[in-house]
Amino acid sequence: MYAGKNVTRVDAYDKVLGRTKYTDDLCDKGAYVVRILHSSIAHGKVVSIDTSRAEKIPGVVRIFTCFDVKEKHYFPTAGHPWSTDAAHQDVADRLVLTEDVRFYGDDIGAVVAEDEVAASQAIEAIRVEYEEYPFVLDVQEAMKDGAPQIHKNYPNNILKHTSIRQGNYEEAVKEPGLIKVEGWYETPVVQHCHLENFICYAQMEGDRINIVSSTQIPHIVRRVVGQALGISWGKIRVVKPYIGGGFGNKQDVLYEPLCAWLCMQLGGHLVKIDIPREDTFVSNRVRHSIRSHIISWVRPDGTYAARKLEAFSDQGAYASHGHSIAAKGAGAFPQLYPCENVEVDAYTVFTNKSVAGAMRGYGIPQTMWAVEGHTEEVAARLGMDPVEFRRRNLMPVGYVDHFSKNELYDDSFNQCLDKAMAAMDYKRKYREYQNQTGDIRRGIGVSVFWYNTAVWPISLETSSCRMVLNPDGSLQVQLGETEIGQGADTAFAQMTADVLGVPLESVHVISCQDTDVTPFGTGAYASRQTYTAGFSIRQTGLLLKERILEYAHGLTRMPSYNLDIVDGNIVRTTDGRILMTLGELAAEALYSLNNSQHLTAESTAQIKSNAYSFGCTIAEVEVDIPMCKVKLLDLVNVHDAGNLINPALAAAQVHGGMSMGIGFGLSEQLMFDEKTGRALNNNLLDYKLSTCMDHPRLNALFVENPEPTSSFGTKGLGEPPACSVAPAIRNAVYQATGVFVNKAPVNPHNLFARFKEEGLL
């Protein structure tokens, strides 16, 4: 059994040796390069674009403007599975280049040049005339009557409103003796900051267009490029090489449509779009800033009578993942701390800012910031221990969500909390840090999280797999699920080896997806891959094994039910004798003059189940009150992600997510100029990305309750690590100082304001 073992990443050596090929490594040096002309206003209409000076710059091949886009094929960009039901399709509001400017940085033109210097010079030399409209940057301002209207057909800029009603909130709050706790919570605009910026290139082959892209979702990109170009989807081939991180930003179809369109305008010539970091911040995707308003009505015994959440999610200028992120966050609210009487209203609202899309956690980090901050406040108001208060109210064992049918099968929350508390010596420190005085104070804070693996039943979960047996008994595995740096290929190899009964080194996972030949799968998102691909790996592996044993029957005369594959050998189960190696069988099958068979198997698994992932963070901080500075002393995440296929890789996932959570909690925010709408700190100098310099020891622990619905006992772990870190830090700061900071990040700027308000300064 390889599942559960810390085998070395299958791509470790190539990465260390620099052999791994990323998109730019693969692109022919003769490619034309592109620089995109971004709008320098936040809202308005392009009146004219003067490219005359730019066209004279040596090396400029051609300049395209929004006025060259004659056929207006609006397309959606969200990396969601397609739905053939129009009502369930994503909003199609993008054009490859647009005359209608909706944020500072909108795509209004593109320079194609022989080199990047010429392209950049040409961008500078272009003059644009606009008709300017008023713009709005604040999510609640945008909802007001009379606010600038960003898209037609969306009154008050509301893209969508989700509401949940359980019981009767209005009646419930009348119960005598209830304590009302109310708060507003807000998370900032942050960006994914993956190491490899988005890059893609396109070239025509015959009448088809071939796109190589740094994407998480090659099969979805194919479909969206088809929509964007108005061509049949089979005319598009998308190849995904190794990629340098995505974190959800590459779960949007970013510039593949523009790249393909430019290529087709240039007779199919190779065209490359390599987004600079500065553009990545502004013109890719960001995390939704969500402002949440929570009212809780609690009984003195620490139980909830009624709860209410209003969430205002800042979509930015285009629909992208639309309302699904706010909806996922809204869904967490009544499930994490079930209560009979609940009202939830989540609004996703257009503003004239950079477009928000998927980012690790998909609404849950924002919701946990609000909910777990609020929970801390409720406990404080009740004078209860924050952990005990949570234990009393958290989803109980046996809880079943009526929609997803997800169930809490084990006592995961308490097990995770117990493990985290033990690891941090929580109880002692919690007591010790009560009633501190002085400038420097310490605190220890906790946060739990709830996360839903995968997307069923909201949308399709499907995974197809193909396995190809080599004449030496090794095999290739092809999946539409993508390696994006997280180690997916290694987990897939471990699963495959176990299902087939072959040594791990015999399994070659084809890392590079090619929509022409790779079985259909929707890609890396929603922490779905180990869960969903597990089904197609097991199903296809069993199918291949059946074919192998059937062939073995012909060679050995033994009935196939008395045969098995063990460690790469065909074994007679009745006495354990090795009858032949799998390699001998495979070579004989391939080259048999009697019955030549290339043994392969392929199948689609549709997944109609889903699973909860749970966990918690405990953070220990030291706060320098005069300096308004938080030093993170220690941090632990404990996760129940079911069985771990590779504990070391799982820990690495958690470490990465914790780092992202630290930045979310302490330092990161993309700021916009209120006068122009321009992003102010769209670079890695001014945007305070969390780095290892900001990290304490990152402690990743696990509770492994096998998920009963899962083919390998696994459930999601990709996103959960980023969900509870920031509120745990915030709660630790509260425990240290008695000050609640409701606006993330807990940076000196926000701390100064709160310490002033609370009289600490």
- Which residues make up the interface to a second copy (CB under 8 A)? 10-11, 13-14, 17, 19, 25, 28-29, 81-84, 203-208, 223, 226, 232-235, 267-268, 457, 459-460, 462, 464, 466, 468, 470-476, 478, 505-506, 508, 510, 516-517, 519-520, 583, 587-588, 590-593, 595-598, 600, 602, 604, 606
Q: Nearest distance from residue 594's CB to a second copy, in Å?
A: 8
Q: Nearest distance from residue 323's CB to a second copy, in Å?
A: 19
531: left (phi over 0), alpha (psi -120 to 50) or beta: alpha
603 vs 747, beta carbon nearer a second copy: 603
Q: Nearest distance from residue 68's CB to a second copy, in Å?
A: 22
Instruction: Please say whether the dihedral angle defined by the alpha carbons of residues 740, 746, 751 and 753, taken in this order, is positive or negative.
Output: negative
DSSP state of 740: -
Site of tokens 């979310």: 664
Alpha-carbon gap, residue 719 to 729, rounded angstroms: 18
Site of tokens 């090794």: 474
Q: Nearest distance from residue 266's CB to a second copy, in Å?
A: 12
Residues in the chain: 761
| CA angle in degrees (0–180, nearest 5) for 238-241-247 | 95
3 state DSSP class of 69? coil
Q: Nearest distance from residue 87's CB to a second copy, in Å?
A: 13
Q: CB neighbours (10 Å) of residue 266?
A: 17
Q: Nearest distance from residue 287's CB to a second copy, in Å?
A: 28
Q: Nearest distance from residue 365's CB to a second copy, in Å?
A: 29
215 vs 348, beta carbon nearer a second copy: 215
DSSP state of 520: P
Q: Nearest distance from residue 109's CB to a second copy, in Å?
A: 27
Q: Nearest distance from residue 210's CB to a second copy, in Å?
A: 10
Burial of 144 (0-12, 13-18, 19+ CB in 10 A): exposed
163 vs 595, beta carbon nearer a second copy: 595
Strands 199-205 and 271-274: antiparallel
371 vs 537, beta carbon nearer a second copy: 537
Q: Nearest distance from residue 544's CB to a second copy, in Å?
A: 12
From 343, 191, 160, select the one nearest 279 (Cα to Cα): 191
348 vs 474, beta carbon nearer a second copy: 474
2 vs 664, beta carbon nearer a second copy: 2
Q: CB neighbours (10 Å) of residue 72?
A: 10
Instruction: Determine contact, residues 410/613, Cβ cutoff 8 Å.
Output: no
From 170, 343, 187, select the one nearest 669 (Cα to Cα): 187
Burial of 62 (0-12, 13-18, 19+ CB in 10 A): middle
84 vs 435, beta carbon nearer a second copy: 84
150 vs 270, beta carbon nearer a second copy: 270
29 vs 675, beta carbon nearer a second copy: 29
Q: What is the DSSP annotation of 438-477?
A: SSEEEEEEEEEEEEE-S-TTTS--EEEEEEEE-TTS-EEE
71 vs 205, beta carbon nearer a second copy: 205
Alpha-carbon gap, residue 71 to 53, rounded angstroms: 27
